[in-house]
Structure 1
Amino acid sequence: MSWFVLVESNTTGSGRVFCERARELGLRPVVLARDPARYPYVAADGVEARQVDTGDPAVVLSACRRLGGQIAGVTSSSEYHIATAAEVARRLGLPHPDPGAIRACRDKAVQRAVLREAGVPSAAFAPARTPGTAVAAAQRIGYPVVVKPVAGSGSVATRLCRDAAEVEAATHHVLNTDGLPPQSAVMVEEYLRGAEYSVETFDDQVVGVTRKHLGAEPYFVEVGHDFPAPLDPAARAAAGELAHAALKALELCWGPAHVEIRYGAAGVRIIEVNPRLAGGMIPRMVEEATGIDLIRHTVAKAAGRDEPLRATRERAASIRFLVADREGMLTGIDGTKAAARVPGVVEVGFTRAPGQYLVLRRSFQDRLCYVIAAADTGPAAARAATTGLHALKAHITT
Structure 2
Amino acid sequence: MESNNPVVLLVDPADSRNGHAYKAAVRELGFDVVSLSTSPSSTAADLPADPAGEMSLQADGVDDAVRQVRAAGFDLRAVVPSRGSTLHLADEIAARLGLPGNDPALGWARRNKAAMRTRAVQTGVRVPEFRLVDSLDAVAEAARDIGFPVIVKQTMGSGSYGVTVIGDAADLDAATKDLAVDRHDRPVTEWLVEQYIRGREYAVNFCSADGEHRLIDVWEYRRPDDRDYDFPLWDIVQIDGSHPDYERVERFCKRVLDAFGIHYGPGHIEVKCSDDGDDVHLIELAARFSGGPAVPMWTRHSDLRPFHDAVECFLGRRPKMIDGDHGFRAVLGSVVIRNDGPPGTLVAMHGLDELRALPGVADVLVEFEPGDHVPTTNHNMCIPVSASVHGPDRATVLRTLAVARETVRLEITSDPAVLT
Q: TM (normalized to structure 1)?
A: 0.82
1:162, distance to aligned residue in structure 2 (A): 1.9
1:253, distance to aligned residue in structure 2 (A): 3.6
C-alpha distance after superposition, 1:336-371 (max 9, x if no partner)? 5543432223x3243747699656372111124432
Distance 1:352 1:50, change over 3 A: farther
Kindly indicate whether the alpha-carbon contact (under 8 Å) linking 1:102 and 1:275 is maintained by their aligned counterparts in 2.
Answer: no
2:329 and 2:145 map into 1 onto residues whose CA distance is 46
2:26 is aligned with what amino acid? Answer: A
Matched residue, 1:222: 233
Q: Which moved more, 1:154-163 or 1:207-216?
A: 207-216
| SS state at 2:397 partner | helix
Matched residue, 2:216: 207
Matched residue, 1:291: 303
Q: Which moved more, 1:171-180 or 1:251-260?
A: 171-180
1:23, distance to aligned residue in structure 2 (A): 3.4
Q: Which moved more, 1:263-272 or 1:43-52?
A: 43-52
Distance 1:77 1:315, change over 3 A: same
Kindly indicate whether the alpha-carbon contact (under 8 Å) linking 1:340 and 1:388 is maintained by their aligned counterparts in 2.
Answer: no
Distance 1:331 1:25, change over 3 A: farther
Aligned residues: 392
1:380, distance to aligned residue in structure 2 (A): 1.1
Structure 2, unmatched stretches of 5+, are 416-420
| SS state at 1:382 partner | helix
1:9, distance to aligned residue in structure 2 (A): 4.8
2:266 is aligned with what amino acid? Answer: P
| SS state at 1:257 partner | strand
Q: TM (normalized to structure 2)?
A: 0.78
Kindly indicate whether the alpha-carbon contact (under 8 Å) linking 2:253 and 2:269 is maintained by their aligned counterparts in 1.
Answer: yes
| SS state at 1:123 partner | coil
2:92 and 2:146 map into 1 onto residues whose CA distance is 36
Distance 1:212 1:178, change over 3 A: closer
Matched residue, 1:380: 396
1:365 and 1:241 map into 2 onto residues whose CA distance is 32
Kindly indicate whether the alpha-carbon contact (under 8 Å) linking 2:350 and 2:408 is maintained by their aligned counterparts in 1.
Answer: yes
Matched residue, 2:271: 261
Matched residue, 1:251: 261
Q: Is 1:301 the equivalent of 2:310?
A: no
Which of the residues 335, 348, 351 maps onto 1:320? Answer: 335
1:251 is aligned with what amino acid? Answer: G
Taking every aligned residue pair, what percent have the same amino acid on both sides? Answer: 22
Matched residue, 2:203: 198
1:260 is aligned with what amino acid? Answer: E
Q: Which moved more, 1:348-357 or 1:141-150?
A: 348-357
Which of the residues 147, 155, 159 maps onto 2:160? Answer: 155
Kindly indicate whether the alpha-carbon contact (under 8 Å) linking 2:88 and 2:108 is maintained by their aligned counterparts in 1.
Answer: yes
Matched residue, 2:130: 125
2:374 and 2:53 map into 1 onto residues whose CA distance is 29
2:365 is aligned with what amino acid? Answer: F
1:357 and 1:66 map into 2 onto residues whose CA distance is 49
Structure 1, unmatched stretches of 5+, are none
1:292 is aligned with what amino acid? Answer: L
Kindly indicate whether the alpha-carbon contact (under 8 Å) linking 2:202 and 2:270 is maintained by their aligned counterparts in 1.
Answer: yes
Distance 1:181 1:249, change over 3 A: farther
1:383 is aligned with what amino acid? Answer: R
Larger-gyration structure (1/2): 2
C-alpha distance after superposition, 1:202-254 (max 9, x if no partner)? 22222221111358865315233211x26735521111111112222222243
Matched residue, 2:358: 342
Which of the residues 282, 290, 304 maps onto 1:270? Answer: 282
2:14 and 2:403 map into 1 onto residues whose CA distance is 28
